[in-house]
Structure formats: structure tokens, C-alpha cells
Structure 1
Amino acid sequence: MESQVLKAVISYDGSKFYGMQKQPGKKTIQGEIEHALTKLNIISEVKHAGRTDRGVHALNQVISFDSPYFWEIEKLQNSLNKILHPYIHIKKLSKAPQNFNPRFDAKKRSYRYLISPIFSPHTADYVTYYPKNINYPLLKESLRILKGRHNFEYFAKTGSSVNSYVREIYHTDIFEYKNLTVIKIVGNGFLRGQIRIIVDFLLKINEDVLSLNDLKAQLNGKLISKHLAPPNGLYLERIWY
């Protein structure tokens, strides 16, 4: 039976899963969506634009899968959402070219990281608790250093298997919104753990444990600090094609 390629924009609560990518014996976003498809007698591998770690959320992750032509798109979206509810939600489902690849066709991606000085058990899975004053001018300058094309090898998880560690960051920002500190980074692509390692580095600069010169040195190939900020404050925000 001939099939159509469908593109879905999805959001999910990453605190309920062991990450995006399917893993044996673990509850993952990819695994849950493929399971939902099988309930509708659709057997297809789900491809995704980016692998998010356990506990990391998405506002607009992009996936693709094959579907028989007889499925009407709106009905399929509603049927999948009923099965996936409440922690995964398909925001938009549409036809895509047969050769569409959500990972390799992406032009740029944005992430945001949320930090709160106020602890609440109700938001603990969704923001990172950090009870210290933020030096916004200092961290804005730190983020400006990251802009441009760099080798981010020492800002990637150990064991990352990639052809190149070079990535380009187009835009950065840090600002206060209500009681939250929001860090935003837009780039052509990101390595595993890159945003979380950057955020940890920034917070150490904020505490005067590390300096702007340390940040420049690590970008230039000297390992200074390589630790992951907690996953719960990280959101895959948007992907452009």
C-alpha cells in the first residue's frame, strides 16, 4: 500500500519520559508516538528533528512518519492526540514531501532555558531553581562571546558521535520575565548537551567561579569546565525549515 509522509509539530512534557529517542525498555516520546500509531494500524518509524534528553521539554519539536493515504489528516491528528494525551500533543499535522527529513532539512533551531529564584514543588519539573542574583549585563556579554561560528567540542556531551563539532549561533539573549530568568539561544544546530553545558558555564561566570576569558579559552580548545545544567529548565522552542 502506498503511503504519504506526514510532518507533525508536537509539544511534550519531558519530565515524564526518558528523552525523545527510542530506548529499549524505557518510556520515550518516539516510542510513545510509534505505539500510538500502531494502535491505529499504522506501522512507521518516527523521525525527529532533534534528540532531547530525559527531562527536557519541547514547545515545537518536529517529527515525520509514514501514513496510508486513506487517513484524513485532521481525523488522524485527533485520533493520535486522544491516545497521546496529556503529556504529548500534536499541534499541527500536514503533508510533507516524500524526501522530507525533520533533522537534516532544518535550517535553524532555538532553545530557551528557564531559571527561577523561587522554589515550588509544582514547578520543579519545569524550571531550574537558582536562588542567586543574576548579573544580566555580565551574562549578556558572555552570550555575545558565543555568537558566531565556533568549534563547540568542549560544550558537547562526552561520547557524542558527530562528523564535526562546528556550529553557528545566530542569536542569544537573557532577560527577566515575571519571576523567571530566560536564556535564549538560536543556532543552525546543537550538539548533545550543548545548551545545558553552556548554561552551567554561564551560571559559574555569574558566581565568579569562571570568567569571560575562561569561556573564550574553552571555545578556543582548552577544556575548563564541562558540566550539565539540570534538564528541567530546558525547552526546544522552535525549528525553522
Structure 2
Amino acid sequence: MRYFIQFSYFGKAYHGWQNQPNAITVQEVLEKALSTLLREKVEVVGAGRTDAGVHAKQMFGHFDFDPIPDAEDLVYRLNAFLPDDIVVQGIHPVAADAHARFDAVERTYEYWLVKEKNPFLFDHAHFVKHYLDVDAMNKVAKILLDYTDFECFSKSNTDVKTFNCDVKEAFWTTDEEKWVFTITADRFLRNMVRAVVGTLLDVGQGKMSPEDIHQVIASKDRGEAGVSVPAKGLYLTKVLYPKEIFDEQKG
């Protein structure tokens, strides 16, 4: 049977989601825990890959295994076995052809900035000491919805067939402690969100005018966009699937 597993992790200790030969990853730790408790090798296919140091408030993966009689008990035992920075919320039977990566229709990320040095958010957000024009940053964020080709924000030498992404929302909000940038799209390119935020910070600091964003996107040149902001402020917060994925179909 095929199962979807929902989980969260704080990424500081890991070199991203995807298995690597010489570095500890979330996938490696989760697969080891599942394989140990189920007493059989288990491979988990993730909804996507996050870079080193990036966090996930909501992440999904799928794996195949014989019918699990008590999924709630397995979740309980997994959380007792896993380190404190990885938590499993649920395991759900799905259709045999359901795919955690390819069936996802939307993904949402947040990026956190702190306005003042804060010891409680040091590992959770990027500290920016300069004044930021949030209105200008929101103006540019809204412009992103008018485009689909985001090659200028993609990591160089990326093996993808297309740089097109359907950005559905992008905006900044503020509270007493931090700025939060929220962006939702059907897919994201490698390093895209961190590059977008870095570009928006250039706008907010007056290094780039809001109108310049049109030229940056049209250039398709990563060198024209802003520098990537640190990974520690980035959170995958939501992965959306068609409702029928979780109808507990068997087979």
C-alpha cells in the first residue's frame, strides 16, 4: 500500500531534505526511523527538497509498505524515536499512484526577518538592521504575479525543463517582532524564494527601484537579481493536494 506521511522539521542541523553521501539530511533520519520501527527498508519520496538549514512547518512524503494496522501508534512511536527537531503529524493511506511531489498543486513559503537583534529568534530569522520600505517591497511582490518565467531567481546550472512558475500570492506583513514574506506558487525553482527576498530587500533599502524588477525578470540572469538571503529564515509552511488524495483509497 502507499502512504502519505506528514511531518515538520527545524532545519538547522540538516543539509536539507534530500539524501546526500557525506552529510546528514532529514530524509536519511526519517527513513532510518521508519525502517527501524517497521523492520524493513523504507524509502520516502518527499514533496520537494529544501536546502541546508531551511525549515518545514508542513512537509509530506510517500512510501510503500504492507498494510499498517495502527497508523496512530506508528506516529506515536516515530515521534518517540525521532530527534526533537523532526515531528510526524500523521500517516494516511492513499491511492496506489498518489505522488507526494508530482500531485502537489500549491506550495507556500514564509521568510522571516527580525527588526532588532533578538536572541530568541537568532536561529529562526534573518536580522536586517537597515530601514526597509515595506510598501515598496509589497509593490514589487505584487508585480511577481504578472510573470511566469523566473529564471533570474533560479540557482545557476539547475537541471530543470522549465523556469515557469505560477505565483498565486506574494506579500509582506509585519508584527512587533518581525517582517514575514509569504509566497505561494504551483512550484518553485531551487533557491528561488531566497533570491526573491534578497531582491525585495534591495528595493526596500533603496538600492533598486520598484520599476527595475521588470528588467531583472526580463534579463533571465541570476546576476541581475539580489543576493540570496540566509536559509535560517525560510520556512515551507504548506503543501496543498487535491482532496481526493486523502480519501484513503486502497490498492
Coarse TM-score class (shorter-chain normalised): over 0.9
Q: Distance in 2 between matches of 1:205 and 1:25?
A: 38
Instruction: Could you list the structure 1 runs, at least 4 aligned residues long, displaced by more than 4 angstroms after superposition.
Output: none
Q: Whole-Å Cα distance in 2 between the matches of residues 133 and 208 of structure 1?
A: 9
Q: Is the 8 A contact 2:55 2:236 kept in 1?
A: yes
Once residues 109 and 222 of structure 1 are traced to their aligned partners in structure 2, the CA distance between those partners, rounded to angstroms, is: 23
What's 1:239 paired with? 239
> Within 5 Å, which residues of 2 pair with 1:17-56?
17-40=14-37, 41-56=39-54
Partner of 2:125: 127
Matches within 5 A, 1:99-114: 99-114=97-112
Structure 2 vs 1, CA of residues 231 and 24 (structure 1 numbering), >3 Å: closer, same or farther? same
Alpha carbons of structure 1 residues 70 and 187: separation in structure 2 relative to 1, 3 Å:
closer
* Stretches of structure 2 lacking an aligned partner (at least 5 in a row): 242-251
Higher strand residue share: 1
The code of the aligned residue for 2:240 comes to W
Give distance in 2, aligned partners of 1:54 and 1:206: 26
SS of equivalent to 2:20: coil
Q: CA deviation at 1:26?
A: 1.1
Contact 1:154 1:226 (8 Å CA) reproduced: no
The question of 1:76 aligning with 2:74 is answered yes
| Offset from partner CA, 1:19-53 (integer Å, 9 cap, x none) | 00010121100000111122121312110111101
- 1:80 is aligned with what amino acid? L
Aligned to 1:90: 88
| Conserved? CA contact 2:137–2:204, under 8 Å | yes
Deviation at 1:121, TM superposition (A): 3.6
| Correspondence for 1:8 | 5
Q: 1:191 aligns with which of 177, 189, 192?
A: 189
Alignment check: 8 A CA contact 2:53 2:232 kept: yes
Instruction: Return the alpha-carbon distance in structure 2 between the equivalents of residues 92 and 177 of structure 1.
Output: 31
Query: How many aligned residue pairs are there?
Result: 238
Alignment counterpart, residue 64 of structure 1, candidates 53, 56, 62: 62
Distance 2:5 2:150 in 1: 30
Shift of residue 71 of structure 1? 4.1
Partner of residue 198 from structure 2, selected from 194, 197, 200: 200
Query: Which is further off, 209-218 or 93-102?
Result: 209-218
Q: Is the contact made by 2:30 and 2:82 (CA closer than 8 Å) also made in structure 1?
A: yes
Gaps of 5+ in 1: none
2: distance between equivalents of 1:26 and 1:137? 41
Aligned partner (choices 206, 212, 215) of residue 213 of structure 2: 215
Tell me the equivalent position of 1:160: 158
* Residue 213 to residue 70, structure 1, CA distance change in 2 (3 Å): closer
Identity of aligned residues (%): 28
Residue identity opposite 1:55 in structure 2: G
Q: Offset of 1:149 from its aligned partner?
A: 4.0
TM norm structure 1: 0.94
**Using a 3 Å threshold, how does the CA distance of structure 1 residues 70 and 117 change in structure 2: closer, same or farther?**
closer
**More off after superposition, 115-124 vs 31-40:** 115-124
